Amino acid sequence: MSELIRVNNTTNCIIGLPKMDGTQVIIQPRSFTRMSKDDIDYACSICDSFAKGHVRVADVAVEKQVIEEQNIDVKENAAFMSEDELKKHLRASADNIRKWLGGIHDMVVIANIYEYAKKLDLPASKMEVIEKAARIQK
C-alpha cells in the first residue's frame, strides 16, 4: 500500500474528490483526509479543486510536484498566498484592495480572504470593501 498524504480542505464548503477506484472522498470544511499520491494525481486530472487552491496537499514536496504538473501559477493565485503576502495586500489602500479583489474571480478564495481579514485589525473602510467583494450581507 502506498503512503497516504494529508490533503486539507481550505474552504468553508464540503469538497468531494474522486478516487481511482471510482469512489470519492468527502472532506468536511476546514478539515483534512489522507489520500495516496495516485489518487491525488487522479483527482487533479479530472477536477480543479487543487488548481483553485480549495484543496491543498500538506506535504510540501508533493504539493510542489502537483503545482508543477498542473501548471498552477501560484504568484497569480490568491489561494496560494502566504499570510505575509495576504497582509501586504490588505495593508494597501481600500481602492487598491478593491482592484486586487476585482481580479479574483473565485468566490471561495474571496471568502477565505474575508475570513482571514476578520482576524486582522483593519479599518472599517477596508472591511467594507472586502465584505462587498465577498458579498457579505449585514
Domain spans of the chain, in order of start: 4-69, 78-133
- Span between the terminal Cα atoms of the chain, in Å: 50
User: For the segment 28-75, what is each residue's pLDDT rounded down to a tens digit?
Assistant: 999 999 999 999 999 999 999 998 889 999 998 988 888 888 888 887
**Those residues with Cβ within 8 angstroms of residue 77's Cβ, 6 or more apart along the chain or in another chain:** 52, 53, 109
pLDDT, one tens digit per residue, over 82-99 is: 889 999 999 999 999 999
Buried b (16+ CB within 10 A) or exposed e, 84-120: eebeeebeeebeebbebbeebeeebbbbbbbeebeee
Q: Which pTM was predicted?
A: 0.76
Find residue 27's DSSP bridge partners: 15
